Structure 1
């Protein structure tokens, strides 16, 4: 069968559609946001592929894996095993890195175990172990034939002691001579050494001429030396009693000079997830949590204004008061105004005993004792608690993450860090940008034997690094922690891993792999997707990018609208045919240029403020000590290729610096020298893609505040007034109106012990969240549950005569969210949807004209038509006098910016510079990568 046939798909908003998908082709599913793309790709095709796979495993295995619900589809024919490559974070575990997720680090561990050369960390010399035969071969190679050699057994190096027993044993074993501190003595003349002195002792085993006929004698001498010194032998060549050459050999991995020893070199020695190789101080994390004194005592408060976050009882405060009085200081003063010795005592305790009072109903008790100090008290409690919840509390409230001093953040013990290939240890290579790491491995010089041992291993490492570069990730390092990757980066890491696995006959489902990619990097990504297809796989992509759509073989365009207006097939067929005749396909009209996003002419009343915010000396990550000017009251786009430093500049430096300066927030911005222009702003808001709530109780209606107004409406009905129902009756978060069987959740959570929890619809309320009495109250024949089940578009029509509600819903519609349900659980919303709901909430607020909004790739998940709406909304924020700073790759958004700051020239080490800034015309004239693509678009 050459096609996957989907018949009668009705999941979510799909309208009983039939579709055929050609196998072993690159297939794009496109359409407006909410038109049903992810429902078809993820919730129908992928879900059914997973379900069938689970059905194919044994019933015993299914006991542990559970069963998946069958998607609402009549049947799917020709479906192969399915793998989804989504935008979710690869792992939240701080131990997971790009290297471990892609398995490249595992290959590197084997490589280092096989051909890595250990070096003494103290003496900086190679440490080798050899068999007796190898030692003899080296002696014959490294010393001249017929030379006079002495064979010594190293007994002690710079050690104190008399060595009485050792010397007696040497005599007993028949040895005649010994070298002590550089001088040779007859053993008969020595009985003991001076105890308080350090001594270097070498036992003379034999002396001979290096000839082939003396092979057996040399073998015996070396064997004796290894036995006497526990694995060492020193060979010296003498000429006229003068040492002209000396070599030390060992059958163990021990430094011959200082005695530093290496354990057996195996792959697990290089694992920071194994006790064998992990730094003993940080247990392989590379960082430690340490208490911050300023988090315990707020310098701007006194002890009475809640400066201490623990022990608010009067006794605890009285204790602090007594400490301050003991140092003749004033407890009413702010902490920063107290004497240094007083501050020190509050934090680290007192040496002297202090008078304390303990007041009870029975009287006042006085006693003397040392004060422990807040720092010591917190540390003691943290170390003694076994509760993970308490440890997390201390970490969040009083501690900060600091680089481990023992391993300097390298995660490994000293031994694996001193095993090197071409003068680099495994961590140094892991810290390189992937492009540099690939260069390193390609240029490794290997002996013939080493090539035989690791040839295929090295090829696999280079190949997998190449896959990461092909998906536009050449700028990140293998040591990058997986939980710091963006959604797009995580997805491309997984994509590269899948190509590396070499699977065939699989249906791959990808969700917007171009997220976070500059147009320059798209071509590489497209070639990677084609490689995946050429391996014999069907590649199904949910995508809005024009180049990806044009490069695909087949397209399924859903629509015509979103939500209830979507779920139909607008076009299904070969891309080449769509390009010839886009018909009714909105996607087709955009990619053929029949429709396009124009440069929006904004309100001419927009005021040019002629004031700026200036950040000086930004040097975080790869930023090159740059000074950046941000004109206020503008729509500013931050552009540049992937890894050029955009997020480092905006989200890691500027945003945290502003909230620290304006709100005294407890954050650590990336390094910068100073900021000018703070007096011109009063608020900063990051509208990111994090969820609008962590539980299903949060939804668009509650987040935007429209639910409060709807509850007011229900409470004002005649029926509510008759029954005495107030506004609170219509909340599913409190007792009274909610269904108590499920506590207003609409579902019940069934804990399955060692299996994942199962969620089932509540039998009592049938998922409606409210009890019968509450549901009996109707507004225009709709219950409160019916309202929550409406889409924004439906609710707009329903509430068109209620301006306060209509206006909020209209804002949601303006940002392209007309299809989502008012009561849709926050946990089911995508990052892009959550971000646009937050935008709506901001548009509702009264403008001060002094707010800076930060957005990181808000076009994620948006169709061309939705992008157009988003641009209009962002300009509305600016027209209120605010500043919008946006990190973006979408050229239609960039061309609509008032001001562009372009970073580059490349990603990683070659990035971090401002290569162009100014208007769209200025960027085009600068001829940067961004400028070149803008020129193509606008011409």
Structure 2
């Protein structure tokens, strides 16, 4: 009944969804459910996965009268299902709630809709359609995009996937760096042409001049943590071992149960016991060996803040120390300014016209809101008196406008600030400004800000970090930096557990857990565990088949 969203969130912690006792989740009246086709009611058909639905239609036997009535409808349904299967979402159930789809899945569903429309002369723009796709399904996606092209359309894709780059007719490589160091076209042409361009970082990775090396595997045995009888969604009551103090990777085709195992069971079971979170873990018998961890941290790609007031400096607690530094300057002491004076969230130092936002929101009825720079402070957030306090000639507003790279040089002599800025530099975020609104950061950037925040803390060495597809939106060179950071976390004694499709990450892991063999109902089984070399030797593993091409030829020597 309450109107307060906070109260509602608190009450929802104690609520859970149950199927309706009358219709058992079918949503329809008994009279409607009495109508069947091939002895199946409509809700039984929508509970099937796309691939099962295609098989059902292929086996459907109709009388000549039924054939007359239904032939065209069945042809339409089969065509649409085939499109879905071709873009790699054959494992999804037809009645799956749209809110539970990942970004990549939703994008591929929209793609399937477009193929069905058979339009010609259209420019299609896709932003990383390969997110969450296993290497095996990538071919299907590329074939689908080529089919759109062959119909007479132009397909423009923003992508970091090597297979997709090689399949493209024309590549445009932007760079050379990121942020203010980017914005130039470094190379263009076919993949072969870009490979030969010495200025292109992408080209160097494509040609093999630069590659992400396979590190020494960690051999020491620090014990293991076990999940017993994991049986949520499509998991088939599996027992999984996760060695402690190593870089672990959960792999498998899309829909094989990776997120269910890691996010719904491992994270929630540990968060319940270690972090005292009130969350209900997925169905499993037991978790053994939890005592080796003191906390579990899920570093996901959700935004670091919902408002423009939140930024990398506030999130990493860097801004607290910067404000403290400004309050210690001679000018601030003379005026009696405390750290609070330099906050743009409270009265005193901020510009009162825009309440410290730097912009003023103009509500346009029936149109999106328009933001204009504040006329009083010209987007600088603070009043004139506050901006008169300077450190090395820069005001607090100038510091918020600095990219990480410049700030690192500016505060080089101040250890507290340098340590935090160094971690932002290490995760490859040199180009973002300290005061950049959190709402303008991409998912990958937000995740790396969280990683930097974790790295700058004093480590206990007994933490489990969970990352779900951290390479989303990352270039080869950024993946290299991200892996260095993750390996550093493990070197400190922590355990890093990653769900990943990217082979460069998978080959760096100390231990793999491969689920499969397929997605949806045909998945949820444990196919292989062990080092990447062990998994590459397993014939039934699709991940293993692709791993063989990226592991060094002499795998024994690498291990």
| Structure 1 residue 401 displacement after superposition | 2.5
The match for 1:800 among 408, 412, 415 is 412
Q: Is the contact made by 2:359 and 2:373 (CA closer than 8 Å) also made in structure 1?
A: yes
Q: Summarize the Cα distance change of 1:884–1:391 in structure 2 as closer, same or farther, 3 Å threshold.
A: closer
Q: Summarize the Cα distance change of 1:856–1:389 in structure 2 as closer, same or farther, 3 Å threshold.
A: closer
Q: Is the contact made by 1:607 and 1:881 (CA closer than 8 Å) also made in structure 2?
A: no
The match for 1:770 among 371, 382, 387 is 382
Residue 167 of structure 2 corresponds to residue 551 of structure 1: yes
Structure 1: how far apart are the matches of 2:67 and 2:398? 70
Q: Is the contact made by 1:607 and 1:633 (CA closer than 8 Å) also made in structure 2?
A: no
The match for 1:472 among 88, 104, 110 is 88
Q: Is the contact made by 2:360 and 2:371 (CA closer than 8 Å) also made in structure 1?
A: yes
| Structure 1 residue 542 displacement after superposition | 0.9
Q: Is the contact made by 2:250 and 2:499 (CA closer than 8 Å) also made in structure 1?
A: yes
- Show the counterpart of 2:557: none
Q: Is the contact made by 1:620 and 1:648 (CA closer than 8 Å) also made in structure 2?
A: yes
- Show the counterpart of 1:831: 443
Q: Secondary structure at the match of 2:16?
A: strand
State how many pairs are aligned: 551
- Show the counterpart of 1:427: 43
CA RMSD in angstroms comes to 1.8
| Structure 1 residue 390 displacement after superposition | 8.4
- Show the counterpart of 1:30: none
- Show the counterpart of 1:865: 477
Q: Is the contact made by 2:225 and 2:241 (CA closer than 8 Å) also made in structure 1?
A: yes
Q: Is the contact made by 1:662 and 1:683 (CA closer than 8 Å) also made in structure 2?
A: yes
Residue 124 of structure 2 corresponds to residue 508 of structure 1: yes
Structure 1: how far apart are the matches of 2:443 and 2:238? 31
Q: Is the contact made by 2:230 and 2:285 (CA closer than 8 Å) also made in structure 1?
A: yes
- Show the counterpart of 2:101: 485
Structure 1: how far apart are the matches of 2:4 and 2:77? 38
| Structure 1 residue 397 displacement after superposition | 4.8
- Show the counterpart of 2:556: none
Considering fraction of residues, name the structure with more strand: 1
Q: Secondary structure at the match of 1:402?
A: coil
Q: Secondary structure at the match of 1:399?
A: coil
Stretches of structure 2 lacking an aligned partner (at least 5 in a row): 554-559
- Show the counterpart of 2:396: 784
Which digits, 9 at most, give the CA deviation of each residue in 1:729-779, with x for residues without a partner?
Answer: 111110111111111111222334454433322222222211122122222
- Show the counterpart of 1:921: 533
The match for 1:600 among 196, 215, 218 is 215
The match for 2:270 among 629, 640, 658 is 658
Q: Is the contact made by 2:50 and 2:94 (CA closer than 8 Å) also made in structure 1?
A: yes
Structure 2: how far apart are the matches of 1:616 and 1:855? 21
Q: Is the contact made by 2:340 and 2:346 (CA closer than 8 Å) also made in structure 1?
A: yes
- Show the counterpart of 1:403: 19
Q: Is the contact made by 2:226 and 2:242 (CA closer than 8 Å) also made in structure 1?
A: yes
Structure 2: how far apart are the matches of 1:638 and 1:795? 37
Which digits, 9 at most, give the CA deviation of each residue in 1:323-381, with x for residues without a partner?
Answer: xxxxxxxxxxxxxxxxxxxxxxxxxxxxxxxxxxxxxxxxxxxxxxxxxxxxxxxxxxx
Structure 1: how far apart are the matches of 2:405 and 2:74? 57
Which digits, 9 at most, give the CA deviation of each residue in 1:387-425, with x for residues without a partner?
Answer: 475883574254332222222222223232222111112
Q: Secondary structure at the match of 1:466?
A: helix
Structure 2: how far apart are the matches of 1:495 and 1:484? 18
Q: Is the contact made by 2:295 and 2:462 (CA closer than 8 Å) also made in structure 1?
A: yes
Q: Is the contact made by 1:434 and 1:474 (CA closer than 8 Å) also made in structure 2?
A: yes
Residue 553 of structure 2 corresponds to residue 937 of structure 1: no
Q: Is the contact made by 1:582 and 1:592 (CA closer than 8 Å) also made in structure 2?
A: no
Residue 198 of structure 2 corresponds to residue 583 of structure 1: yes
Which digits, 9 at most, give the CA deviation of each residue in 1:895-931, with x for residues without a partner?
Answer: 1101111111111111111111011111111132111
- Show the counterpart of 2:222: 610
Residue 127 of structure 2 corresponds to residue 499 of structure 1: no
Q: Is the contact made by 2:275 and 2:296 (CA closer than 8 Å) also made in structure 1?
A: no
- Show the counterpart of 2:513: 901
Structure 1: how far apart are the matches of 2:235 and 2:427? 33
Structure 2: how far apart are the matches of 1:926 and 1:619? 24
Q: Secondary structure at the match of 1:514?
A: coil
Structure 1: how far apart are the matches of 2:145 and 2:307? 35
Q: Secondary structure at the match of 2:444?
A: helix
Give runs of aligned pairs for residues 225-304 of structure 1, distance below 5 A.
none
Structure 1: how far apart are the matches of 2:101 and 2:461? 33
Q: Summarize the Cα distance change of 1:411–1:791 in structure 2 as closer, same or farther, 3 Å threshold.
A: farther
Q: Summarize the Cα distance change of 1:620–1:393 in structure 2 as closer, same or farther, 3 Å threshold.
A: closer
| Structure 1 residue 643 displacement after superposition | 0.9
Structure 2: how far apart are the matches of 1:535 and 1:416? 41
Q: Greater shift after overlay, 688-697 or 706-715?
A: 706-715
Stretches of structure 1 lacking an aligned partner (at least 5 in a row): 1-381
- Show the counterpart of 1:741: 353
Structure 2: how far apart are the matches of 1:529 and 1:402? 40
Q: Secondary structure at the match of 1:571?
A: strand
Larger Rg: 1
Which digits, 9 at most, give the CA deviation of each residue in 1:480-531, with x for residues without a partner?
Answer: 1111111211221122122222232222211111111111111001011112
Which digits, 9 at most, give the CA deviation of each residue in 1:685-725, with x for residues without a partner?
Answer: 10011111111111101001111111122212222122221
Give runs of aligned pairs for residues 686-705 of structure 1, distance below 5 A.
686-705=298-317
Q: Greater shift after overlay, 644-653 or 460-469?
A: 460-469
| Structure 1 residue 836 displacement after superposition | 0.8
Runs (4+) of structure 1 exceeding 6 A deviation are: none
Q: Is the contact made by 2:13 and 2:278 (CA closer than 8 Å) also made in structure 1?
A: no
Q: Summarize the Cα distance change of 1:778–1:607 in structure 2 as closer, same or farther, 3 Å threshold.
A: farther
Q: Is the contact made by 1:507 and 1:537 (CA closer than 8 Å) also made in structure 2?
A: yes
| Structure 1 residue 593 displacement after superposition | 1.4
Q: Summarize the Cα distance change of 1:746–1:418 in structure 2 as closer, same or farther, 3 Å threshold.
A: farther
Q: Is the contact made by 1:600 and 1:872 (CA closer than 8 Å) also made in structure 2?
A: no
Structure 2: how far apart are the matches of 1:722 and 1:791? 30
Structure 2: how far apart are the matches of 1:901 and 1:397? 31
| Structure 1 residue 627 displacement after superposition | 0.6
The match for 1:567 among 172, 175, 183 is 183
Q: Is the contact made by 1:623 and 1:911 (CA closer than 8 Å) also made in structure 2?
A: yes
Structure 2: how far apart are the matches of 1:430 and 1:818? 48
Structure 1: how far apart are the matches of 2:493 and 2:118? 54
Q: Secondary structure at the match of 1:629?
A: strand
Residue 253 of structure 2 corresponds to residue 644 of structure 1: no
- Show the counterpart of 1:676: 288
The match for 1:881 among 475, 493, 514 is 493
Structure 1: how far apart are the matches of 2:31 and 2:11? 30
Residue 150 of structure 2 corresponds to residue 534 of structure 1: yes
Structure 1: how far apart are the matches of 2:261 and 2:10? 30
Q: Greater shift after overlay, 780-789 or 400-409?
A: 400-409
Structure 2: how far apart are the matches of 1:585 and 1:393? 49
Q: Greater shift after overlay, 441-450 or 429-438?
A: 441-450
Q: Secondary structure at the match of 1:540?
A: strand
Structure 1: how far apart are the matches of 2:244 and 2:13? 34
Residue 369 of structure 2 corresponds to residue 757 of structure 1: yes
Give runs of aligned pairs for residues 138-537 of structure 1, distance below 5 A.
382=1, 387=3, 389=5, 392-393=8-9, 395-537=11-153
Q: Secondary structure at the match of 1:926?
A: coil
Q: Summarize the Cα distance change of 1:452–1:607 in structure 2 as closer, same or farther, 3 Å threshold.
A: closer
| Structure 1 residue 655 displacement after superposition | 0.8
Residue 463 of structure 2 corresponds to residue 851 of structure 1: yes
Structure 2: how far apart are the matches of 1:652 and 1:811? 30
